[in-house]
Amino acid sequence: MKGLAPIFAVIVVMATVPLLGVSNVTLNFLVVALMTALAGQGWNVLGGYGGQYSFGHAAFFGTGAYVTAVLQVRYGVNAWIAFGLGIAGGAIVAAVVGGLTFRSGLRGAYFALVTLAFAEVLRISASVAPITGAGVGTLVKLDLHAAALQFQNRAAFYWTILTLVAIALIVTRLVERSRFGVWLIAVRENEAAATALGVNATAVKLTAMVISGAITAAAGCFYVQYFLFIDSGLAYGTWISIEALLTPIIGGVGTVFGPLVGALLVRGLGQAAQLVAGGDVPGLDLVVYGCVLVLIIWFAPRGLIGAMAQLRTRSVRPAPLARAGHG
């Protein structure tokens, strides 16, 4: 399959990082950055390729997290199975939200607002429902065995999240090169024109939303296994909705590697700012995110990868005016 080689190269290089003897702090930073990247990869399928800007991907992240946690804690389900069911839960929530919004023809800002509302409804419900542990949250029992999907060693967690990111990268590449992907991009560019060419826009958007929800839910499932705690603010809070859309927008919307690049950059800068400020300044990382977002939208509206691609084509192609002269 063409186009998978760069993905394998990146993943192999990244897989060697724990072998270089980096500190646990660095490894922890990378695990969280990769988890953000995974949430962003989910957003990118729907937002980047489909042009449907969701403001409520927390709905999928949180559902993945809660399903994984609650099934283990209350029903004694094996962690691996709970993880899989968490992903399925995110996909189901995506199907419901997508079915309701796309069927009623919501687009643009209206779609963004309704997704935000769904996430908020889930957050408030989770903060009062007994099954989620309500305001107290749910604590997953410490059980450092591979069978319980918990690891003594941070490197094992790192490789787990890296594997998930790799799968999401491959899924994104396959989507991009399939008929479904071509139609999804067509819907983003011009929905009426796509419909005239035989594209069932509602079905295409709904499918993208389900894939998107499943990937972002996987990040939520991983969150629970890594931190062993979840409450309504962590699961369904706007922080993850924002990070899920920020990382692809900064890295490059509608590109395979956009969310990964964006997550590493954003998380890296957030961390660096904390170091410079000398300690834990609450909200400083958000200030950094905001500044980066303004700079990207101003100077590189198609993200870092988009900007690099543009530089490359500019050096190869003649200037637009010269081209017009020939044509």
Partner 1 sequence: MAEPLLRVERVSRRFGGLLAVNDVSLTAQQGRITALIGPNGAGKTTLFALISGFLRPSYGAIRYGGADVTGEPPYRLARRGIARTFQIVQPFAGLTVRENILVGAHLRHPARATAIVAAEQVGRELGLDAMLNRPADTLTVAGRKRLELAKALATEPKLLLLDEVLAGLNPSEIRDIVPIIRALCRRGITIVMIEHVMQAVMSLAEHIFVLAEGRIIAEGTPAQVAADPGVVEAYLGHGAATRLGGAHAD
Alpha carbons within 13 A on the beta-carbon side of 139 = 4
Please give the single-letter amino acid code of residue 39: A
Comparison of 134 and 182: residue with beta carbon closer to partner 1? 182
Q: Which helix (H) or strand (E) holds 229?
A: strand 229-230
Specify the DSSP class assigned to residue 47.
I
x/- contact string, 124-163, with partner 1 (CB under 8 A)?
Answer: ----------------------------------------
Q: State yes or no: residue 197 binds partner 1 (CB under 8 A).
A: yes
What gap in Å lies between CA 91 and CA 215, rounded to an integer?
8
Q: State yes or no: residue 189 binds partner 1 (CB under 8 A).
A: yes
CB 167 → partner 1: shortest distance, Å?
21
Q: Map residue 138 onto helix, strand or coil.
A: strand
Helix axes 154-176, 179-189, angle to 10 degrees: 80
Q: How far is CA 307 from CA 61, 153, 291, 311, in A?
A: 29, 38, 18, 6
Give me the phi and psi of 85, to 5 degrees please: -70, -30
Comparison of 201 and 256: residue with beta carbon closer to partner 1? 201
Q: Select from 144, 200, 310, 314 the one that contacts partner 1 (CB under 8 A).
A: 200
Other C-beta atoms lying within 10 Å of the C-beta of residue 169: 23
Size of the site for partner 1 (CB under 8 A): 22
Q: State yes or no: residue 193 binds partner 1 (CB under 8 A).
A: yes
Token output for 188: 């983003």
Candidates 111-119, 127-135, 198-206, 219-227; binding stretch for partner 1 (CB under 8 A): 198-206
Specify the DSSP class assigned to residue 318.
P
Candidates 28-36, 151-159, 196-204, 279-287; binding stretch for partner 1 (CB under 8 A): 196-204
Comparison of 49 and 60: residue with beta carbon closer to partner 1? 49
CB 235 → partner 1: shortest distance, Å?
35
CB 46 → partner 1: shortest distance, Å?
17
159-188: contacts with partner 1 (CB under 8 A): 177-179, 182-183, 185-186
What gap in Å lies between CA 215 and CA 45, rounded to an integer?
9
Q: State yes or no: residue 217 binds partner 1 (CB under 8 A).
A: no
Q: State yes or no: residue 323 binds partner 1 (CB under 8 A).
A: yes
Candidates 66-74, 134-142, 195-203, 287-295; binding stretch for partner 1 (CB under 8 A): 195-203
- Could you tell me which residues come within 8 angstroms of residue 288 by beta carbon, excluding any fewer than 6 positions away? 266, 269, 270, 273
Q: 37 and 247 in contact (C-beta within 8 Å)?
A: yes
Please give the single-letter amino acid code of residue 55: F
Comparison of 191 and 285: residue with beta carbon closer to partner 1? 191
x/- contact string, 58-77, with partner 1 (CB under 8 A)?
Answer: --------------------
What gap in Å lies between CA 213 and CA 39, rounded to an integer?
9
Residues that bind partner 1 (CB under 8 A): 177-179, 182-183, 185-186, 189-190, 192-201, 320, 323, 327
